[in-house]
């Protein structure tokens, strides 16, 4: 068994013991307050409070374990070592030992159990909540840690700026390509827009008119996809207003093209 598996088992055992002791203390406090067992473990506010508290402690332990694995050795010369990691993971068990030592001579099992649970909770809280953050803060004040952290942050900032510049270049290239396509399509689509404008001015209910408009829309889709169809649509509307000096009463063109490629009639739900 390698060290990684040993750390996982130790972390799981310590966390389970800590959660067990915390739950024991909470249940004991509720019992001393006069609550019955069925009230504590029923689907009531007390049971919900107990579950949320235990889950919160477990998530805290998991988060701290993940955060510890991401520490950089140069910036955290002590807390990133194997010995400190093992010490940190075994704190609830060490608290159990401290509780046993503190309750030496006690003849009652209830007092011994309470002392062990309180010792576990007190030592774990002291190390995880107070001592460990203080040590981590002091590590950041070391000259080597500060220099490496500043260098790392500058490198991360430079990398973000480089990625942003690359994205801007790609965006500019995409916009330039779109503009070139628009100018190229402008000439190729001019005859189509003029023909569509004439078709719209004829009998709208003519099946032949609809078939010709659909054929032109399909050609535009083959030339440049949806963007080409949109440009042809705009050119047709402008040409219609220019030739006939009035707006269209009904958007027949969009209805005729519905279903060509990815074109959808906005009038439809």
User: Is 170 among the domain residues?
Assistant: yes
Return the higher-pLDDT residue of 64 and 236: 236
* DSSP labels, 176-201: HHHHHHHHHHHHHHHHHHHHHHHHHH
Specify the pLDDT at position 268. 46
User: Is 266 among the domain residues?
Assistant: no
* Helix 3-32, helix 82-89: angle, nearest 10: 30
* Helix 132-140, helix 143-201: angle, nearest 10: 90
Is residue 196 within 8 Å of residue 236, measured between CB atoms?
yes
Q: How many domains does the chain have?
A: 2
pLDDT tens digits, one per residue of 234-247: 999 888 888 877 76
Mean pLDDT lowest among 4-8, 142-146, 197-201, 257-261: 4-8
Specify the pLDDT at position 88. 86
Confidence of residue 206 (pLDDT cuts 50, 70, 90): confident
Same domain assignment for residues 124 and 237: no
Same domain assignment for residues 133 and 185: no
Task: Give the domain range for residue 193.
Answer: 158-256
Mean pLDDT rounded to a whole number for the chain: 79
Same domain assignment for residues 211 and 105: no
* DSSP labels, 144-179: HHHHHHHHHHHHHHHHHHHHHHHHHHHHHHHHHHHH
Same domain assignment for residues 99 and 69: yes
User: Is 108 among the domain residues?
Assistant: yes
Per-residue pLDDT, averaged over 72-90, amounts to 83
* Radius of gyration for the chain, computed over Cα atoms and rounded to the nearest angstrom: 36
Mean pLDDT lowest among 58-67, 123-132, 186-195: 58-67
Same domain assignment for residues 14 and 126: yes
Is residue 261 within 8 Å of residue 221, measured between CB atoms?
yes
Both tokens of 234, joined, read 């705009």
Dist CA 196 CA 232 (whole Å): 9
| 80 has pLDDT over 60 | yes
| 216 has pLDDT over 60 | yes
């Amino acid at each position: 068994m390698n060290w990684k598996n040993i750390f996982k088992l130790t972390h799981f055992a310590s966390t389970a013991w800590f959660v067990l002791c915390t739950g024991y203390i909470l249940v004991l406090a509720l019992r001393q307050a006069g609550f019955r067992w069925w009230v504590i473990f029923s689907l009531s506010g007390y049971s919900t409070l107990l579950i949320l508290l235990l889950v919160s402690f477990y998530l805290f332990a998991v988060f701290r374990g993940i955060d510890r694995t991401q520490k950089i050795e140069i910036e955290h010369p002590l807390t990133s070592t194997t010995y400190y990691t093992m010490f940190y993971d075994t704190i609830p068990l060490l608290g159990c030992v401290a509780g046993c030592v503190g309750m030496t001579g006690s003849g009652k099992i209830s007092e011994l159990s309470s002392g062990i649970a309180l010792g576990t909770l007190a030592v774990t809280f002291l190390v995880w909540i107070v001592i460990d953050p203080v040590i981590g803060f002091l590590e950041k004040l070391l000259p080597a840690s500060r220099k490496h952290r500043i260098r790392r942050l500058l490198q991360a900032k430079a990398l973000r700026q480089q990625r942003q510049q690359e994205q801007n270049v790609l965006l500019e290239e995409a916009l330039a390509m779109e503009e070139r396509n628009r100018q190229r399509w402008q000439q190729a689509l001019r005859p189509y827009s003029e023909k569509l404008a004439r078709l719209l001015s004829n009998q709208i209910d003519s099946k032949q008119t609809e078939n010709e408009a659909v054929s032109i829309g399909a050609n535009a889709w083959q030339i440049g996809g949806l963007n080409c169809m949109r440009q042809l649509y705009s050119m047709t509307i402008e040409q219609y207003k220019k030739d006939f000096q009035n707006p269209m009463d009904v958007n027949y063109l969009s209805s005729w093209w519905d279903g060509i490629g990815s074109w959808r009639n906005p009038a439809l739900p």
